[in-house]
């Protein structure tokens, strides 16, 4: 049976993610849970998240979910969304928060000096709205999604991966930043597939069928 656990640690638009997964995989059992035992038993794991990284890491600890996520990421198809991407790395500039350290690299903030366009006007932080995603590497989760398809973003921080080979997607704002990573059974994105219309639903459908 295809069982998908959406990790609930009190941060994230879990209902939208759950409804999107139920739509693309009607035969799967989708559960929103904060129970480590259910997370360990599920065949697939989704870790969404919105908000601040220090609060995210504290919430994981408060709910006893840190080790369950680390264990799940060892061998299950794993999808991280927004903070679910950022938490995989070592440290974030946001409150100098320590991440899970599963991937080498750090999380930094968009700054006006790095988000200035070629004119006088400067781009806004947070980066909010639709933007194109360039597929930096082939991956099953990009199946039937056109390169440079548009996805929906809401974030002020972005990941800087130390290993170029894990970068699966980039977006320009206005210079390229990593918006998707892939390593073994882990795929994680900065954008919100549950809010990204057909391209996002296709990515979620691909995840429910992915056998890494």
Catalytic, 55? Answer no
Structure confidence by residue, pLDDT tens digits, 56-88: 999 999 989 999 999 999 999 999 999 999 999
- pLDDT range class, residue 167, cuts 50, 70, 90: very high
Query: pTM, whole model, 2 decimals?
Result: 0.94
Q: What is the pLDDT of residue 123?
A: 82
Alpha carbons 60 and 67: distance in angstroms, whole number: 9
Tell me the CA distances in angstroms from 27 to 3, 72, 185, one per residue in order: 9, 22, 22
- Average pLDDT for 178-205: 98
Where residue 114 falls among pLDDT bands split at 50, 70, 90? Answer: low
To the query of whether residue 139 is one of the catalytic residues in this protein, the response is: no
Active site residue 163: no
The reported pLDDT for the residue numbered 120 is: 46
Catalytic residue, from 82, 94, 127, 179: name it: 82
Taking the C-alpha atoms of residue 44 and residue 72, their distance in angstroms, rounded to an integer, is: 8
């Amino acid at each position: 049976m295809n069982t998908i656990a959406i990790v609930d640690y009190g941060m994230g638009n879990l209902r939208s993610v759950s409804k999107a997964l139920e739509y693309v995989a009607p035969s799967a059992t989708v559960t929103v849970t904060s129970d480590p035992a259910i997370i360990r038993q599920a065949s697939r794991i989704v870790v969404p998240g919105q908000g601040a990284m220090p609060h995210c890491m504290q919430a994981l600890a408060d709910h006893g979910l840190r080790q369950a996520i680390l264990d799940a990421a060892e061998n299950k198809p794993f999808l991280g969304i927004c903070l679910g991407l950022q938490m995989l790395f070592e440290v974030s500039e946001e409150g100098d928060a320590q991440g899970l350290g599963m991937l080498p690299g750090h999380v930094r903030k968009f700054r006006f000096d790095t988000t200035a366009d070629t004119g006088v006007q400067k781009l806004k932080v947070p980066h909010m709205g639709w933007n194109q995603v360039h597929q930096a590497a082939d991956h099953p989760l990009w199946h039937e999604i056109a390169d440079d398809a548009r996805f929906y973003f809401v974030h002020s921080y972005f990941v800087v991966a130390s290993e170029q080979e894990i970068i699966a997607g980039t977006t320009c704002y206005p210079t390229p930043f990593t918006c998707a990573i892939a390593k073994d059974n882990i795929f994680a994105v900065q954008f919100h597939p549950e809010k990204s219309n057909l391209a996002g639903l296709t990515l979620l459908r691909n995840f429910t069928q992915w056998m890494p």
